[in-house]
Amino acid sequence: MEKRNWYKRDISTSLLGFGCMRFNTIDGVVDANLAEKLIDFAYLNGVNYFDTAKVYLDGQSEPILGKALNKFDRKTFYIATKFSIWNFEDIKDVENMIDEQLKSLQTDYIDFYLLHAMNKDRFKKVKDFKVLELVKKWKNEGKIRNIGFSFHDDSETFKEIINYYDWDFCQIQFNYMDKNIQQGMDGYRMLVDRKIPIIVMEPLKGGKLAGFNESVEQTLKKYNQDSMAKWAFRWVASQEGIMTVLSGMNTMEQLVENIGIYNNFKRLSDEESRLIDIVGNELRDLEVVGCTKCQYCMPCPYGVNIPQNFTLINEYEMYKNKDGFLWGYKVLEKNSSDFSVCVECQECVSKCPQFINIPEELKLVGKLKDNLL
């Protein structure tokens, strides 16, 4: 398993990291025996970075990981876990949280501690609650060794957060289709230029890059017979500054495949990088609706989440992921923001800089939903 050195620091993490958010469950209860077998196999095959959070799997992830790793030498692996601020209304609620996490993880210290899923509102709460001061206190006490954050918002918010503190590391969503969303390439370059080690989540874009529109896949299959997942993983790990690529592996088959990719890892050649760029462009060309997510049409007076409805139909055409579309639609429906809420008031039409007939195009979402059910 390839290891990446964190610049001049005495840290060397496996290129493949184990994300502990997606263990198999039965009626909401994690299959702990299978989870432990996966963790054991990963560790014994060179994986030394394990990522969890107190909120994962309704609180089951940290204890399962702690039990599984407790049999190994603590100096031979790294644990990353998180502070999920949306669960708390007062800083007093979390003053003892680190001790609870240490107990769950059966360890005296946490290697990498993240402010979890930062966005504009959550970061404001971090500042209002003086969370960073508390986390720094825990670091001074030896309970935490490195402080970072994971991120889900726009580039301006990313710049605000990255400039707020001298972070030890950062976790971002990064794959060859998401160069222009969230922190984007500008945020990525900021991390590289400042030599802030990067941990990557969503290298397969929620599984979408593991398989997509067959006609587009042919561009890569004509070159070799590698899986689409391998192409996506290799693209991420070939980029400068990437220390560990997380994967939420819940079957032995997934784990074995991913370990195989990162054993004797080979960076993309110039030709292979060019093919990935072509595939990215071909997927984007499959968009049904030319929505740029500029948000000028929002808010809808009746509650329709216009950009997200269009994202669902565009991504289905790219990736042909039926379950992903139906799950996303179910979320919109639950929030009363799906296409069916539209009353065709036309208010959004005049606001759209792309001149999209939004009420008419929203009907395509309904047609697709009916066809897939």
Residues of the chain with pLDDT under 50: none
Residue 204 gets the label, from left (phi > 0), alpha (psi -120 to 50) or beta, of alpha
- In this prediction, residue 48 carries a pLDDT of 98
Q: What is the spatial distance between Cα 111 and Cα 4, in angstroms, rounded to a whole number? A: 16
Closest C-alpha among 318, 316, 319 to residue 284:
318
- In this prediction, residue 75 carries a pLDDT of 96
Exposed/middle/buried for 340, CB within 10 Å: 0-12, 13-18, 19+?
A: middle
Q: Per residue in 287-302, pLDDT tens?
A: 788 777 777 788 999 9
Q: Per residue in 100-136, pLDDT tens?
A: 999 999 999 999 999 998 988 889 999 988 999 999 9
Spans of all domains in the chain = 3-268, 306-372
- In this prediction, residue 1 carries a pLDDT of 86
- In this prediction, residue 228 carries a pLDDT of 92
- Burial 184-218, CB ≥16 within 10 A → b, else e: beebbebbeeeebbbbbbbbbbbebbbebbeebbe
Rounded to 5 degrees, what are φ and ψ at 11? -135, 130
Q: Which CATH architecture has domain 3-268?
A: Alpha-Beta Barrel (3.20)
- In this prediction, residue 215 carries a pLDDT of 87
